[in-house]
Structure 1
């Protein structure tokens, strides 16, 4: 039996539970960085390698993780049963649809030899709010044994379509996906809706995380640790980790017209070692940040943008894809 899990935290919990089988921790964060339909393509791999190297992940370590994960998928037929453990949020759903796409591609290698199962939840009795499998004790994790369900052809096909939409360089593919029947994977639609909220808004160029952040700092939040807890509670469906959030803070602090000031050392990166003294940082608003928050100025028109959202690379100041909350549509604002 092979368990493919969504992170080291839950991997350790599952290991401690004494559940039968090997554990493969899927460490590739598909929430951020350059994305393309085929991540095994050398050009795509190099792009992601460079992205994470700039954020503190050693190139050799990143390549080792990705190579070993893909090799495990190619050798999936060595196992009688494979169980995928994932959650409802965007971070997990992007990994899940990628895995379903890859397993569908390898179907001839495992069909008739390996049975595939999925456990994907958004709640657990007595755990409120439920943020993820990493909250569970080893006993709670073990209680889920056998509750997984067989992965169907419909799920493999939907996962593949969802991945191709997410990885497309035209974000309207995600909008089109939301018009389809996605009930075979109950959390995909919700996750993709929140993915669209990560695009800059038509009103001021901020996405939902950035808008909430400016509102919180304007309201008196000054410490990055408490701010992250506050924003992550408001955006549970994103599955956003602290390192991804520090990236948002950096972007708000950069450009010709910063929206916040960060007093303190450089924000933590992936290669951060040892305990972090969060009191070392203090956040304050700038006048420009107040104007953007109130939709009197536009962040993208002033500072530009350089960010990957799925397969879409947002760059520059003009004709950038934006999300219109009222019409629930993507547009390219002509300025």
Structure 2
């Protein structure tokens, strides 16, 4: 039997594979490339410096934690050179899909002669609700594994191309390119890229889709605590795959639109922004906020026609 290397989307999936007893080495890809600045050369010194700078400034990640949690596992990946097949385990959400593109881009460069297979959590038989891999039964996981999809060279080139576009300083080509490959095995990529584009600020009030949804939720439901509020945001935004740490960050950025988080209450300004009576772009805008390679506040999302508009400097 050929030797196999598994690359998973996180520690939970790694533990699942260990409990299944699948053959081969397992590497955990511990990054969140859907947030902060990214550059195309995955694994390069400048790539990791860019990522550490973002994680340190936005999430107060220490150098030690970054090295122990992410870089050591990446170095372990670099040392895995003997396997014939590499199996990727990723979810349907934006968080995972962007990480998946980056990993495929890295494999294209450094493991071009290997067989690469893909397993994606999402659709299950007779169930319209998308599931994460941790929600699959052992039998379903083994079935996914047995029926894994081998990526063609065209698939690998396509994933790498979308990664290059994600890392470019303009998201405009992503608006159309991701729709042009309906036969690709990346069946969740289109929805993920749509969700990504909605993260640029709306022309109507300067907040993006997630930020506006947060205000709507605060207005329509009662939450006695910030924790309960964050749990509900996570539940209603599965396409993004974010956890509490990401939404805590969002709430910190939006804190002036609330009078309180325990209980959750919008301020007068928050209500005005929610009803498009005030544009918050000037107050929330940051030169240091990136989505992939593009500056978040250099583009506006026009809801009327679902198009991005570049702001001329």
Normalising to structure 1: TM-score of the pair?
Answer: 0.83
> For 1:48, which of 51, 69, 86 is the aligned residue?
51
Write the mapping of 1:179-198 to structure 2, written as runs, cut at 5 A: 179-184=179-184, 185-198=186-199
> For 1:235, which of 237, 240, 248 is the aligned residue?
237
Q: Quick check: 64-73 or 305-314, which moved more? A: 64-73
Hey, what's the Cα distance between the residues in 2 that align with 1:69 and 1:105?
18
Match of 1:172 in 2: 172
> For 1:286, which of 262, 267, 289 is the aligned residue?
267
Match of 1:152 in 2: 152
When the two chains are superposed, the root-mean-square deviation of aligned CA atoms in Å is: 2.3
Q: Quick check: 68-77 or 206-215, which moved more? A: 68-77
Change (3 A) 1:4 1:303: closer
Q: Determine whether 1:99 maps to 2:80.
A: no
TM-fit CA distance, 1:262: 4.1
TM-fit CA distance, 1:131: 3.7
Match of 1:225 in 2: 227
Q: Quick check: 159-168 or 19-28, which moved more? A: 19-28
> For 2:12, which of 2, 9, 19 is the aligned residue?
9
**Structure 2 portions without partners, runs of 5+:** none
Q: Quick check: 14-23 or 125-134, which moved more? A: 125-134
Match of 2:27 in 1: 24
SS of alignment partner, residue 218 of structure 1: helix
Match of 2:257 in 1: 259
Hey, what's the Cα distance between the residues in 1 that align with 2:42 and 2:222?
39
TM-fit CA distance, 1:44: 3.5
TM-fit CA distance, 1:139: 4.6
Hey, what's the Cα distance between the residues in 2 that align with 1:14 and 1:147?
16
* Contact 1:117 1:149 (8 Å CA) reproduced: yes
> For 1:326, which of 278, 293, 304 is the aligned residue?
304
Q: Which runs of 4+ in 1 moved over 6 A?
A: none
Cα distance per residue 1:279-319 (max 9 Å; x no partner): xx43211100000000111111233235221111235xxxx
* Contact 1:117 1:151 (8 Å CA) reproduced: yes
TM-fit CA distance, 1:229: 3.2
Hey, what's the Cα distance between the residues in 2 that align with 1:30 and 1:94?
6
SS of alignment partner, residue 169 of structure 1: coil
Normalising to structure 2: TM-score of the pair?
Answer: 0.89
Match of 1:79 in 2: 83
Hey, what's the Cα distance between the residues in 1 that align with 2:218 and 2:173?
35
Change (3 A) 1:183 1:90: farther
Match of 1:246 in 2: 248
Change (3 A) 1:44 1:145: closer
TM-fit CA distance, 1:90: 0.7
Match of 2:293 in 1: 311
SS of alignment partner, residue 116 of structure 1: strand
Cα distance per residue 1:194-242 (max 9 Å; x no partner): 1001111111111111111111111243323332333233322111211
**Structure 1 portions without partners, runs of 5+:** 264-280
